[in-house]
Amino acid sequence: MKALVKVAAGPGLELVDVPDPLAGPGDVVVRVLRTGICGTDLHIDSWDDWAARNVKAPLVLGHEFVGEVVEIGIAVTGVRVGDLVSGEGHLVCGTCRNCKAGRRHLCANTRGLGVHVDGAFAQYAVLPQENAWVHRDKVDLDVAAIFDPFGNAVHTALSFPVIGEDVLITGAGPIGIMAAAVAKHAGARNVVITDVSEHRLDIARKVGVDLALNVATATIADAQVELGMSEGFDVGMEMSGKPVAMQDMIANMSHGGRIAMLGLPAEEFAVDWSSVVLKMLHIKGIYGREMFETWYSMSVLLQRGLDLTPVITHKFGYRDHAQAFATAREGKCGKVVLDWTEA
């Protein structure tokens, strides 16, 4: 089969022939239909310091995908050949304290599909049956391909109640935009999203945010004035990993406000902890998805009319992967999807 592979340590990927994957007793083999390109894939492609520390070549990349089950292991009971499935890319140990308590998203031994084991940028992929989310209702294939980052957005957006609340989201990348759409769909009063990219702010406007704010020309305090707010934001979602974004968020939170932090900073930075204490703020770190309550919520949100199609802005055949990666790296896009159904 064809697969997009990091063949050796260093920059670049190659589309090469590799053996078809085999199903273990508890595994399913999936014919991949669509995949999404993630920031993690860009890191591995460029072979930055993080990739050099965490990735061992050769490796098939990719962890955002949807496909059709074509083979199941002898111990598989919950998935059938012919099922349409998206993949949960976090592979957990099943034996640690958190796994045994049903808190699998907190497993300290998590491995990543397409990071530590071969992933889904290929015509076929294999994963444990527990990691295959079967779509029981009709779903757009491009949307199903990005259930992994959609899950990050839902996990973040629903970490705290948002009904009737004023919500601030810093970082209008695809996950931030999806989180904004979820918060608005779930009943938030005002949803404000910030960025310095007008292109991405325009995408955010298409999903119905109340204000898409370019912080290169305006401040979050300006947003409060424009929306008639007086006491700050009730819920914050930090998606950018930028120190100034977290600092501005803390400064603009209401007393008793709650912050969900998904953005991963590249460096240490100062935080006004006195404001955190005096405002009695609650800050929660978010990593991945709650398995599998978040996945249930994702499916229900789509069933009830949440529209994610504006977030998907580019689609390429898998043979055009170089152009797809270049588009994703340039940043003038939402989610970039690869189609693996071409001959």
CATH of the domain at 84: 3.90.180.10
- Is 41 inside a domain boundary? yes
- Is 110 inside a domain boundary? yes
Q: For 202-237, how does the pLDDT look when each residue is reduced to its tens digit (9 = 90+)?
A: 999 999 999 999 999 999 999 999 999 999 999 999
Mean pLDDT, rounded, for 39-60: 96
The answer to whether residue 266 scores a pLDDT higher than 90 is no
- Is 301 inside a domain boundary? no
Question: Is 263 annotated as contributing to ligand binding?
Answer: yes
- Is 335 inside a domain boundary? yes
**Do residue 323 and residue 235 come from a single domain?**
no
**Do residue 220 and residue 163 come from a single domain?**
yes
The answer to whether residue 343 scores a pLDDT higher than 90 is no
Query: Is 43 marked active-site?
Result: yes
* Residue 252 structure tokens: 């603009």
Distance of CA 169 to the CA centre of its chain: 15
pTM score, whole prediction: 0.95
Domain that holds residue 48: 2-146+308-339
Q: Kindly tell me the number of DSSP H helices and DSSP E strands found in the chain.
A: 12, 18
Mean pLDDT, rounded, for 299-324: 97
Q: Residues 35, 40, 170, 194: which is the catalytic one?
A: 40
**Do residue 116 and residue 6 come from a single domain?**
yes
DSSP-derived 3-state class of residue 140: coil
Question: How many structural domains is the chain composed of?
Answer: 2
Q: Residues 43, 116, 135, 199: which is the catalytic one?
A: 43
Average pLDDT along the chain: 97
- Is 251 inside a domain boundary? yes
**Do residue 13 and residue 124 come from a single domain?**
yes
Question: Is 333 annotated as contributing to ligand binding?
Answer: no
As a whole number of angstroms, the longest Cα–Cα distance in the chain is 62
**Do residue 185 and residue 213 come from a single domain?**
yes
Distance CA 228, CA 205 (A): 19
**Do residue 141 and residue 117 come from a single domain?**
yes
Mean pLDDT, rounded, for 263-274: 94
The answer to whether residue 191 scores a pLDDT higher than 90 is yes
Q: Cβ neighbours of residue 121 under 8 Å, at least 6 residues apart?
A: 3, 4, 35, 41, 60, 61, 62, 114, 318, 321, 338
Query: What percent of the chain shows pLDDT beyond 90?
Result: 99
Q: For 111-163, how does the pLDDT look when each residue is reduced to its tens digit (9 = 90+)?
A: 999 999 999 999 999 999 999 999 999 999 999 999 999 999 999 999 999 99
- Is 300 inside a domain boundary? no
Q: β-strand 64-72 against 59-60: which pairing, if any?
A: unpaired
Cross-strand bridge partners of residue 338: 35, 316
Domain CATH code at residue 277 = 3.40.50.720
Question: Is 106 annotated as contributing to ligand binding?
Answer: no
Query: Do residues 281 and 112 make contact, with C-beta atoms less than 8 angstroms apart?
Result: no
pLDDT for residue 342: 82
Query: What percent of the chain shows pLDDT beyond 70?
Result: 100
**Do residue 125 and residue 163 come from a single domain?**
no
- Is 290 inside a domain boundary? no
**Do residue 238 and residue 181 come from a single domain?**
yes
Q: For 88-102, how does the pLDDT look when each residue is reduced to its tens digit (9 = 90+)?
A: 999 999 999 999 999
**Do residue 29 and residue 71 come from a single domain?**
yes
Question: Is 61 annotated as contributing to ligand binding?
Answer: no
**Do residue 7 and residue 142 come from a single domain?**
yes
Question: Is 74 annotated as contributing to ligand binding?
Answer: no
- Is 292 inside a domain boundary? no
